[in-house]
Amino acid sequence: MSKKAEKLKEKLFMKKDNCWDLQKDQKDKIFDFAEGYKEALDLGKTERRFIAYSVKQLEDAGFKEISQFDQLNQGDKVYLTMHDKTLIAAVIGEEEPSKGFNIVGSHVDSPRLDLKPNPLMEENDLVYFKTHYYGGIKKYHWLSTALSLHGIIYLEDGEKIEISVGDDPSDPVFTITDLLPHLDKHLSSKKVSEFVNPEKMNLLIGSIPYPDTDVKDRFKLGILNLLHEQYGITEVDFNRAEIEIVPAQMARDVGFDRSMIGAYGQDDRVCAYTSLQALIDTKPSKRTVAILFADKEEIGSDGNTGAKSEIFLYQLNHLHELILGREPKRREIEEFYMNTNLLSSDVSNLFDPNYSEVSDPLNSNYLSKGIGINKYTGSGGKYSTNDAHAEFVAYVLDIFAKHDIPYQISELGKVDWGGGGTIAKYFAKTGMNVIDSGVAMFSMHSCFEITAKIDVYNAYRAYLAFLNS
C-alpha cells in the first residue's frame, strides 16, 4: 500500500481501537472503580435494595431529600424516590428549567423469579415455594443454581418485615432441582423455550417435619413454624409480600487478567451505578443535570413505577416548580421537555464469536471498545423504538469526541433476527431528545452477565461528560 493510500485510509476510515491500548496507563483507576461497582451489585440485587444503596451514596455526597426544600437554587443537590423502587436525583444549575435538563435515565429491575401470592406447598415430604418468572429469562439457567431471597412482608398488624437470606456465606441458600441427564431423554425433542415447565420451577426450601406425627401437612407446618419464630410470619402474610428470588453468588472478577466482571443484575444496574457516580462527581453549572432510575422495564415499563407512568413527569414538574419558586406556565413546561436531553442508559449485546451468526459484524459492540450507542432498538422494521435524530446523535458524539470518550454504534443483532426495547421511547414521547447508550455485555439476562471493567469505567466517563456539557 502506498503512503498516500495509507494516509487517506487513516483520514477516512473509522477507528475501533481496543480501549486497553488507549488507556493502559489508567489500569489502577479502572480496577478501583470496578471494586465499587461490584460492591453495589452485591448490595443492590433487587430494585428496592439498589434504590436504598443509591440513596445512601447520595446522602453521603451531600444530597438531600426533596421535602427538605421550599425552593431550589443553583448548586442544590436533591433527590426523591417513589415507592422505594424509583429515583430522581439532580444538581441544580443556573439556567431556568425551560432551557431543559441533561438527564441520564436507567432502569434498576432485572429478570428474576418472584414468589406467587400463595407460595407454600408440601409435596412428598418436601416443602417448596411456588414461583412466577419476571422478565425475559432462559428458564433452564435457574435450575440447580444457588438462589437467595430478598423482599418485604407486611404482617397482619401492619409491621414491615424485611427478608434477605442467601447472600451471607453463613446463610442457607435455595434451589430449583433439575433432572439428571440419564432420565431426560423425553425432553430432548422439545424446544429450549419449552424444556422447563414454569409451573414446576418450585423453590426447594425444606424437608424436616413438625414433630407431631398426627398433624396433617407437617412438613409445611415445620417450615411455617420456623418462619413464625424468626419473623412472626403466618401463611396469610405472604398475600402481603413482595419477595424476589435471585442468584446467591457475589460479583466476581473474570479471567486470569481480571479484566471482566461477572455478576447477576448488571442489566441495567451497570448503567445505573455509573450514572449515579457521574452525578455525584458533577459540579454545578449552567444547566441542571439529573439521573432517573425506573422500575418494570423488563416487563414493558408498565405500572406506576415504570417509565410509562406519568409519575416521572409529575416529579420533574415538581422540580421545575421548586426551581422557579412558582407554578410553571404551560408553555414553560412544554419548552422544558422539548429542550431536555436524555441518555437512555441501557445495556446492549456484545459480538460473541461463539454465536457470530446472530450479529452484523459491522454494526455490533465489541468488548473493551467503549460505551455502546443504539440509535434505535425495537425489532423488524424499527417497530416500537425511539429512532434518534441525526442532530441529537451529532450532539452526543461531539461531547464524547471532546472528552476522548471511546464509543461504538450498534444494532441489537441482525435485522429481523431479534431486537429489544428500552425506556427511551417513553421519555421521547414527552418531546425530549433521547438516544440509547450503555455498557455492552455477554450473556445478557442470565444469572451471570459479563462486562469489561474498562467499558464500565468509560460509561462513567461518558455520563460525566454528558452531564457536564
pLDDT in tens, 1-11: 788 898 998 89
Read off the pLDDT band of 460 (50, 70, 90).
Answer: very high
Q: What angle do CA 27, 31, 33 make, to 5 degrees?
A: 120
pLDDT tens, residue by residue, 92-145 = 999 999 999 999 999 999 999 999 999 999 999 999 999 999 999 999 999 999
Q: Give the pLDDT score at 180.
A: 87
Q: Give the pLDDT score at 93.
A: 96
- Taking residues 164-168, report their average pLDDT: 97
Q: Give the pLDDT score at 184.
A: 79
Distance CA 186, CA 113 (A): 26
Q: How does the average pLDDT of the chain come out, rounded?
A: 95
In the listed set 195, 219, 247, which residue is the last one of a domain according to the structure?
247
Lookup: cell for 121: 406447598
Read off the pLDDT band of 195 (50, 70, 90).
Answer: confident
Read off the pLDDT band of 182 (50, 70, 90).
Answer: confident
- Taking residues 260-272, report their average pLDDT: 97
pLDDT tens, residue by residue, 407-442 = 999 998 899 987 888 999 999 999 999 999 999 999
Residue 311, in any domain of the structure: yes
Same domain for 219 and 330, yes or no, is no
For 357, other C-beta atoms within 10 Å of its C-beta total 7
pTM of the full predicted structure? 0.96
- What CATH number does the domain containing 27 carry? 3.40.630.10
Angle between helices 266-280 and 47-60 (to 10 degrees): 10
Which long-range contacts link 190-199 to residues 24+ away (Cβ below 8 Å)? 192/138, 192/140, 193/139, 195/139, 195/140, 196/139, 196/140, 196/143, 198/132, 198/133, 198/139, 199/130
* Residue 193 pLDDT > 80: no
Same domain for 274 and 226, yes or no, is no
Residue 154, in any domain of the structure: yes
Same domain for 34 and 143, yes or no, is no
Distance CA 434, CA 340 (A): 9
By residue range, what is the domain housing residue 196? 112-247
Distance CA 287, CA 102 (A): 7
* Residue 27 pLDDT > 90: yes
Same domain for 377 and 307, yes or no, is yes
Lookup: cell for 96: 431556568
Residue 374, in any domain of the structure: yes
Same domain for 412 and 270, yes or no, is yes
Lookup: cell for 400: 464524547
Sheet strand arrangement including 86-91? 64-65, 77-82, 86-91, 289-294, 102-107, 341-344, 433-438, 371-374, 407-409
